[in-house]
Amino acid sequence: MIKLNSSENEIKQLKRKIASKVRHPYLVRFIPEPTIDEDKLVILSSIMNHTNLSEVKKEQYVITTMLVQIALDTHDLVTLTDEEDDRDIIRHRQLTVLAGDYYSGLYYYLLSQLDDIPMIHTLAGAIKEINELKMGLYYKDVESFQEFLDGLKKIESLLIQRVATYVQKTAINDMAGEWLLAKKLLEEKRSYQAGKFSPLIDALIKRPALLGNSGQILGNIEQTLQSHVHRLETTVTQLPVHFNWLKSYMHAAIHHQFNHRKIAEEG
């Protein structure tokens, strides 16, 4: 059993354990293996490290929550196109849906071994709310860009925040929301600039009244990110002293994503 103290070595071991859970010999032949979000893993393990739960439950809660996150992320990868006559596209889409369902089933199985009905209810409730938020964000009318950002922040951080609330460690909630929003905006911006499909930017393009054309959208996202840095650093600094390892990790991540990125772009 891994003792969770949020060191780099433990995070690597947790990643290996999660990867071994989600690796399926048939699925990996046709679709990429899922990405394990290390930042969310670090936040979750830091939360669990400051609870009185047994080491078994700490690890199980981290792994099962990450499986939920992977299932949600995998379902987001399902593309909807008009190319219904292309067998490869249809099979890839079906297998991606199957993979998301498979990862969802894994966390129910793991939690059932712990006989932990309250935690299952916590995760199931978060999944339901996140899916409702996604429907609202991507398919319904949004009054402003700020409303869009607020919805995106909830989608990205609600799962971790609900788990934190369940184990009574809500001090990380503000920081998690601010960081995971910034990270998502960065990832979607880079994906779009690399010529890949970005559900987020595609949703904004379909609402030109919010930000204008694609060029204006990218400019506004960049402006949002720059104005976001100070608020993000403040929420990290305000974390309780016992989250010192998490604070160091977050400050380094912010420097890498913002300051280092700015220098690279100017160079």
Extents of the domains making up the chain: 1-259
| Residue 134 pLDDT level (bands cut at 50, 70, 90) | confident
| Residue 267 pLDDT level (bands cut at 50, 70, 90) | very low
Calpha distance 18→37 (Å, rounded): 11
> Average pLDDT, stretch 130-140?
86
Predicted local confidence at residue 29, as pLDDT: 64
Calpha distance 141→113 (Å, rounded): 42
Calpha distance 100→12 (Å, rounded): 23
| Residue 174 pLDDT level (bands cut at 50, 70, 90) | very high
Is 61's pLDDT higher than 60? yes
> pLDDT tens for residues 29-55?
665 677 889 999 999 999 999 999 999
Is 60's pLDDT higher than 60? yes
Is 13's pLDDT higher than 70? yes
> Average pLDDT, stretch 177-192?
92
Calpha distance 121→134 (Å, rounded): 20
Calpha distance 54→182 (Å, rounded): 33
Contacts of 180 (CB under 8 A, 6+ apart): 39, 40, 153, 156, 157, 160
Calpha distance 112→108 (Å, rounded): 6
> Domain 1-259 - what CATH class?
mainly alpha
Predicted local confidence at residue 90, as pLDDT: 57
> pLDDT tens for residues 65-98?
998 888 887 756 555 444 455 665 555 556 665 6
Calpha distance 196→233 (Å, rounded): 30
Predicted local confidence at residue 94, as pLDDT: 62
